[in-house]
Structure 1
Amino acid sequence: MASHLPIVQFEDKIMKTVEDNAVVVIIGETGSGKSTQLSQMLHRRGYTKSGIVAVTQPRRVAAVSVARRVAQELGVTLGEEVGYAIRFEDRTSDLTRIKYLTDGVLLRESLSNPELNQYSVIILDEAHERSLNTDILLGLVKRLVKVRASKLKVLITSATLDGEKVSEFFSDCPVLNVPGKLYPVEIMYSEESPKSYIESSLRTAMDIHVREPEGDVLIFMTGQDDIEKLVSKLEDRVQSLEEGSCMDAIILPLHGSLPPELQAGIPFGIIPFHIDTFQIPVRVFSPPPPNCRRFIVATNIAETSLTVDGVVYVIDSGYVKQRQYNPSTGMYSLDIVQISKVQANQRAGRAGRTRPGKCYRLYSSEAYEEEFLDVTVPEIQRSSLAGSVLYLKSLDLPDIDILKFDFLDPPSFESLEDALKQLHLIDAIDDTGLITRVGQTMAELPLEPSLSRTLMEANENGCLSQALTVAAIGKSNEKKRKHPPSDLPDGSGWGDHVQLLQIFEEWDQNDFDIGWCKDNGSLNVRTNERYKERQRGYKNLRKALCVGYANKLAERMVQHNGYRTIGFKPQLVQVHPSSTLKTDEDGMFPNYIVYHELIAIVHLCAMYVP
């Protein structure tokens, strides 16, 4: 048992409160030990005799690393008494009594067992992140507590959650506060917001390196692109310093773009890093060597999900990259937005885990007080709800009304209406709003509804393998869409999705060589003869895409190549510049297109046009 952690001192009080109440909210400050110790307390008190203790995490890497740590503390083999389940990987057994899993996995389990009878306790950890899945789980467990009466205990834990609000949601359940193990952190504000937070982060990092005593530096950036830019600039600046003028430095990027099989091997408290997505080895670092400082350039994954030991200095850009959906336009945007005060305080707290630290905020105190939101906007209020509505309908529970579902922070009526319309257009629900046989099958696939519908149709048309390839490439290629090298396959006039498939087939011809992916500019594509053999498959694939994305159709305007979307609140859009879509002899695009999604750049663009 980790007896040094603050939460252990409160075990008797916590367990007495859990015994007397069906739902308990626990606000455990950073470093309190709530993620690793609560499940062990419940195990010691016998709650695992009547079922499994489930602990949800918003992120896969956290579910794996915390499960590994708990197994280590209990002296058991991971996958036996303590296990984890994430998408595509279930490391549990009949012996498992403590199970860490992502919130999405728990939702999927409820499809086959809506009452989740296998669990005696459900802990919703890191609930302050307010992921879409966690918000749905909050509504479902509120129902379960009533249905299962005394047979289920629910604990909702967080470092920064609004405990009183959640307590009110769960009929005034008790709220316990557990102090953390934080050292003082000195907060330093900029006089004004910088023109470039990357350049300002670079200057601040170098000032720390040259002037401040030892201690690692954690720098918060908005995404992988910014991280790579800053890492490159830091490397150049550190290398330009006079040898021996200051300590050595290691510069490490940290973001969530790790495949599950690599995340599964992460020891607790040790961070995986990789510089580019084509590197197979994952660099895993323990504390730096003597007289050496680590610069860790990270996304918001380092706010709560991962603890980076040794950090003494934090540089907070004040921004985060957020994907947002507008139901009135059907459009996604990936925006760089200001963080909330809660996020800012989480970031600052990273500097006080091992000793007193400093947080350099690249914004003014006035901006923090007057411009920052108190809390982060819940994902459920900025996401497409088609998948969530389909899931709730698939449960087929008579006491659940989609438009009146009990959310902690309800989404807009417009968002729910948009979701219902989208599902109706792809045959997931009928005219009365009831889920169809097609919709029930779609709900069983862990994919967005349009993609699920596409795969079902592809299966009927004998091109499932091709559709699966396109789906996988499309998901991995969501973050960036650039002009491909001119010597790569161009889709042979069959559209962007077929182009993705052809590129994969070309990689197959090159024995899936990683080097080919790095240097495909030197590829000499042979004639399209072999593609002709596959044109029947391409045609069937396009049919499947048209069925799956029937809710995303656009008609070309008269006399020019702009399009108007067809359906709920039409939008004027243009085909994305990276598309392989070709014009005819008159310079015109096809009369109609089916698109994957709308994104906002300078103007609205339709992405991935088949």
Structure 2
Amino acid sequence: MAQLPILQFEEKIIETVEKNQVVVIIGETGSGKSTQLSQMLHRRGYTKSGIIGVTQPRRVAAVSVARRVAEELGVQLGEEVGYAIRFEDRTSERTRIKYLTDGVLLRESLSDPELGQYSVIILDEAHERSLNTDILMGLMKRLIRMRSSNLKVLITSATLDGDKVSKFFFDCPLLTVPGKLYPVEILYSNERPKSYLESCLKTAIDIHTKEPEGDVLIFMTGQDDIEKLVSKLEEKVYNLEEGSCMDAVVLPLHGSLPPELQVRVFSRPPPNCRRFIAATNIAETSLTVDGVVYVIDSGYVKQRQYNPSTGMYSLDVVQISKVQANQRAGRAGRTRPGKCYRLYTSMDYQEDLLDVTVPEIQRSSLAGSVLYLKSLDLPDIDILRFDFLDPPTSESLEDALKQLYLIDAIDENGSITKIGQTMAELPLEPSLSRTLIEANEYGCISHALTVAAMLSAETTLLPGRRKNADKKRKHRPVDPPDGSGWGDHIQLLQIFELWDQENYDVNWCKDRDLQVRGMLFVKDVRKQLCQIMQKIAKGSLDVWTSRNQKESRAEYWNLRKALCVGYANQLAERMIHHNGYRTLSFKPQVVQVHPSSVMKPDEDGKFADYVVYHELITTSRPFMRNVCAVQVEWVMPILNKVKNLNVNKLSGGSADLTSEPMEGNVKDSLKKEDGGTTPTLDGHDNKIQAARERFLARKGKK
């Protein structure tokens, strides 16, 4: 292995860390920062006084980097070097270097606010600006002022605005480590392609037939597009004239891929064989694939964006930023001079692409994050004025506070309740945490645990919702249960109960075209949630499903009551003489039940007057996904709470927001928005809006 650039700066890095509590390190792509920084500090004795914790925004990265470091140190993964991600912990008492997701570190700080087990905390890949990393930066700033021991904090990134972060951390030192080992030639398209998938396919074949050996990394937007490209590319390569070019293997890479398939991209190809790797933006920085010489950049990324004024998520394919474009290009220069084929024009790059990616904190629902901050129960934290590197809009924070109030996580004065404290202990989104607590009161905790686990699956589980069903199947898959007419949550429960009765036979899943890996994941998650709830209830719960038990409509009834409480902020009322529902958010709108739902009308042909939903999302139109019918009498207490909201009291601070608006006159800017992404609060607002308008105008012409 070639010596990584960061190793040349080891003395300078260690000297700076020794003299300062916080250091920002800008390590360019290929510098080796993710794998080598922890080892440097380990060599210099920092693991004698505590663990070196390295956070990653993505689960896949935490696992793969930990595996790589364990190999380099010649130790078994899970011993001296380990990792911790949601629902999986491979560490031990011997662990000295620990890779973990930023969300796991946040959860650890609930039980240990000072993070006393750590001597060093490295926030890696900070340029991705994940929601949890941004919150961690605010907490680290507070912690280093309060913790008596000598905690070291390193903020590392490939393309972060280092000066901005340095100022945030009291003008701490900023080090820059070069990383690009070889030059990369940038090749632009003459015009935007009508189909970036077809353009990726053509460019990949051109490289394969005309360019020397070297692997090809293709950046796509998501699992569906990756699977389409892999299928078409395999077919094209197979049909090439024998002997006209070298062999090729086509591999997908995305977050939903099983670990055993993810590992394939890190294995060397056979002799005289080129690898094509079709990946999401997970390969921009989180994972490094050796052997890549050619990069094909579609110019797009799939991004979830939350609009607090509507309570709605949209899953949009959007243009990448210049930072992301440069990160993608850098992947081609790791082992020798490379080429990056950008499927957009140089003018697109200069004029349409934002300079930096909009931080996740400015395009996400903040309910879970605000619950976490409230659960710390620190008197000096006012949620609406928490010290963020880039503050979210006041509307986003107010929306989160309202959500938490409606599900009893905070009281009318903004103080966290006992229910809220319990919710924070569960590694689930607030609605599911609240449902479990209520289900325990109603005696249907076993059912609720199953539903929570099923909704926590990393991939789509059910047949009919996946496009890659086995085409060679001779027999039609067995139809899944129908949810007893009450909706999707009950259907998910019934599916798991039937599988439970079959002793978790994977063939039973295959016969019904259920996602086997996802179902096994659900089984494991349910077991862990059971253990957590047993601990919370001090071992008094009967949480295991009894096999061969007949359907209990009484327990299903109670489960729906619990769901109504848990999803109090995700409630919809059926419109009279209309096929849709009016969501009872703070700006009501008409939405429809997603076509995949199993919710059916009753004996009189009427749909439920009220439903709760797991997610509200915009695709071709606004849809509610995972819907469950609830009773009118359960809804009335929720409607009464909506009438008595006072967001100033909920924030936990004494300031009057109406007299002292947040930076950037956020409320005025939101009024100008026509929906979609939440505006940012810095000087990029006008440029973002202009670029967005150009992109939408061009999209409308197609």
Query: TM over 0.5: same fold?
Result: yes
Distance 1:601 1:486, change over 3 A: farther
State yes or no: 1:298 paired with 2:279. Answer: yes
The residue number in structure 2 matching 1:59 is 58
Q: What's the counterpart of residue 225 of structure 1?
A: 224
Question: CA separation in 2, counterparts of 1:185 and 1:145?
Answer: 40
**Residue 567 of structure 1, CA deviation:** 3.5
* Whole-angstrom CA distance in 2 between matches of 1:20 and 1:50: 17
Matched AA of 1:138: M
Q: Is the 8 A contact 1:186 1:359 kept in 2?
A: yes
Matches within 5 A, 1:419-438: 419-438=400-419
C-alpha displacement of 1:185: 0.7
Verify the 8 A CA contact 1:57 1:100 in the aligned structure 2.
yes
1-structure distance, mates of 2:508, 2:224 = 22
| Range with greater deviation from structure 2 (452-461 or 221-230) | 452-461
Closer/same/farther in 2, CA of residues 336 and 60 from structure 1, 3 Å limit:
same
User: What SS does the aligned partner of 2:122 have?
Assistant: strand
Shift, 1:572, TM fit: 1.2
Other-structure match for 2:596: 578
The whole-number CA distance in structure 1 between the counterparts of 2:205 and 2:109 is 50
Distance 1:193 1:579, change over 3 A: same
CA change 1:146–1:20 in 2 (3 A) is: same
CA distance in 2, matches of 1:553, 1:482: 27
For 2:447 and 2:235, the matched residues in 1 are separated by 44
Which letter maps to 1:11?
Answer: E
Q: Which residue of 2 aligns with 1:267?
A: none
CA contact (8 A) 2:486 2:600 kept: no
Change (3 A) 1:369 1:479: farther
The change in CA–CA distance for 1:172 and 1:433 in structure 2 (over 3 A counts) is same
Alignment of 1:554-569 (within 5 A): 554-569=572-587
Tell me what 1:402 maps to: 383
Task: Report the CA distance between 1:515 and its aligned residue.
Answer: 4.3
Tell me which amino acid in the other structure corresponds to 1:493: G
2:627 alignment partner, SS class: coil
Q: Relative to 1, partners in 2 of residues 1:344 and 1:532: Cα closer, same or farther, differing over 3 Å?
A: same
Over 3 Å counting, the alpha-carbon distance change for 1:78 and 1:583 in structure 2 is closer
* Structure 1 residues 72 and 283: CA distance shift in structure 2, 3 A: closer
Shift of 1:513: 4.0
CA distance in structure 2 between the partners assigned to 1:47 and 1:96 by the alignment: 13
* 1:213-238 superposed Cα distances (whole Å, 9 cap, x missing partner): 11111111100000010111111111
Is 1:501 the equivalent of 2:493?
yes
SS in 2 for 1:375: coil
Letter in 2 for 1:575: V
Using the alignment, how far apart are the partners of 2:509 and 2:128 within structure 1? Answer: 35
Compared with structure 1, are the counterparts of its residues 356 and 584 closer, same or farther at alpha carbon in structure 2 (3 Å cutoff)? same
1:432–1:361: structure 2 CA closer, same or farther, 3 Å change rule?
A: same
TM-superposed CA distance for 1:505, in Å, is: 2.8
Partner residue of 1:246?
A: 245
1:93, CA displacement in angstroms? 2.7
Paired position in structure 1 for 2:324: 343
Cα pair 2:256 2:459 within 8 Å, conserved: no
| 1:537-578 deviations in Å (ceiling 9; x for gaps) | 211211111110011111111222321111411121111122
Structure 1: distance between partners of 2:624 and 2:177: 49
Task: Tell me which moved more, 78-87 or 24-33.
Answer: 78-87
Query: Is the Cα contact below 8 Å between 1:255 and 1:301 reproduced in 2?
Result: yes
Q: How does 1:60-79 map to 2 (within 5 A)?
A: 60-79=59-78
How far apart in 2 are the matches of 1:537 and 1:149?
A: 51
Pairing of 1:230-309 with structure 2 (within 5 A): 230-258=229-257, 262=259, 272-273=261-262, 283=264, 286-309=267-290
In structure 2, the residue matched to 1:356 is: 337
Q: Match for residue 194 of structure 1?
A: 193
Could you tell me how far 1:520 is from its partner in structure 2? 2.3
Would you say the 8 A contact 1:494–1:538 is kept in 2?
Answer: no
* Preserved contact between residue 310 and residue 585 of structure 2 (Cα < 8 Å): no
Is 1:472 aligned with 2:490? no
Aligned partners of 1:563 and 1:573 also within 8 Å: yes
Distance 1:43 1:244 in 2: 50
Structure 1 counterpart of 2:178, one-letter code: P
Aligned 1:304-383 pairs, distance under 5 A: 304-383=285-364
Output the CA distance in 2 between the equivalents of 1:537 and 1:181. 60
TM-aligned CA deviation for residue 533 of structure 1: 3.4
SS across alignment from 1:134: helix
Partner of 1:268: none
Separation of aligned partners in 1, 2:133 and 2:291: 31
Pair 75,521 (structure 1): closer, same or farther in 2 beyond 3 Å: closer
CA distance in 1, matches of 2:427, 2:159: 30
Question: What is the SS of the residue equivalent to 2:448?
Answer: helix
Shift of 1:299: 0.7
Equivalent position of 1:123 in the other structure: 122
- Cα-to-partner distance string for 1:167-210 (whole Å, 9 max, x where unaligned): 11111111001111421111101111111111010111111111
Bigger shift: residues 45-54 or 209-218? 45-54
| 8 Å CA contact retained: 1:80, 1:96 | yes
Paired letter, 1:505: E
Distance, in Å, in 1 between the alignment partners of 2:380 and 2:299 is: 43
Q: CA 1:481–1:335 in structure 2 vs 1: closer, same or farther (change >3 Å)?
A: farther
Aligned partners of 1:560 and 1:588 also within 8 Å = no
Instruction: Report the Cα distance in structure 2 between the residues aligned to 1:290 and 1:67, rounded to whole angstroms.
Output: 28
Kindly provide the amino acid, as one letter, of the partner of residue 440 in structure 2.
N
TM-score by length of 1: 0.91
CA offset at residue 319 of structure 1? 0.5
Q: How many residues align?
A: 584
Q: Which moved more, 1:599-608 or 1:480-489?
A: 480-489
What aligned pairs does 1:93-108 form with structure 2 within 5 A after superposition? 93-108=92-107
Q: CA deviation at 1:432?
A: 0.2
In 1: Cα distance, 2:602 partner to 2:67 partner: 58
The one-letter code matched in structure 1 to 2:338 is: G
Is the Cα contact below 8 Å between 2:182 and 2:337 reproduced in 1?
yes
Q: Which stretch shows the higher mean deviation, 579-588 or 138-147?
A: 579-588
2:624 aligned counterpart, secondary structure: strand
Contact kept, 8 Å, 1:22 with 1:150, in 2: the verdict is no
TM-score scaled by structure 2?
0.80
Secondary structure, counterpart of 1:101 in structure 2: strand
Which runs of 5 or more structure 1 residues have no equivalent in the other structure?
264-271, 274-281, 523-529
Residues 336 and 480 of structure 1, relative CA distance in 2, 3 Å threshold: farther
Amino acid at match of 1:346: Q
Contact 1:561–1:589 (8 Å) recurs in 2: no
One-letter identity of the residue aligned with 2:607: F
Is 1:185–1:349's contact at 8 Å kept on the other side of the alignment? yes
Q: Which string of whole-angstrom CA distances, capped at 9 and with x for unpartnered residues, describes residues 33-90 of structure 1?
A: 2122222222232322222221111122222222233333333343333322222232
Question: Residues 243 and 255 of structure 1: is their aligned pair in 2 closer, same or farther, counting only changes over 3 Å?
Answer: same
Q: Give 5+ residue unaligned stretches, structure 2.
A: 466-476, 515-547, 629-702
Q: Distance in 1 between matches of 2:88 and 2:63?
A: 10
Structure 1 residues 81 and 307, CA, compared in 2 at 3 Å: closer, same or farther? same
Question: Aligned AA for 2:26?
Answer: I
Please say if residues 306 and 312 of structure 2, whose CA atoms lie closer than 8 Å, have aligned partners that are also in contact.
Answer: yes
Does the Cα contact within 8 Å between 1:339 and 1:373 map onto a contact in 2?
Answer: yes
Amino acid aligned to 1:599? I
AA at the equivalent of 1:589: F
What is the percentage of aligned positions where both structures have the same residue? 79
Q: 1:604 to 1:477 in 2, by over 3 A?
A: farther
State whether structure 2 residue 622 is matched by structure 1 residue 604.
yes
CA–CA separation in structure 1 for the residues paired with 2:580 and 2:81:
56
Q: Is the 8 A contact 1:216 1:295 kept in 2?
A: yes
Question: 2: CA distance between counterparts of 1:555 and 1:92?
Answer: 47
Range with bigger deviation, 462-471 or 375-384: 462-471
Three-state SS of the structure 1 residue aligned to 2:301 is: strand
SS of the residue 2:456 aligns to: helix
- Preserved CA contact (<8 Å) 2:478 2:512: no
- The one-letter amino acid of 1:439's match is G
Aligned-partner Cα distance in 2 for 1:370–1:40: 41
Match in the other structure for 1:88: 87
- Quote the Cα distance in structure 1 between the aligned partners of 2:93 and 2:221: 41
**Residue equivalent to 1:456:** 437
- Structure 1 residue 587, shift from structure 2 partner: 4.4
CA distance in 1, matches of 2:425, 2:185: 49
Structure 1 residues 94 and 395: CA distance shift in structure 2, 3 A = same
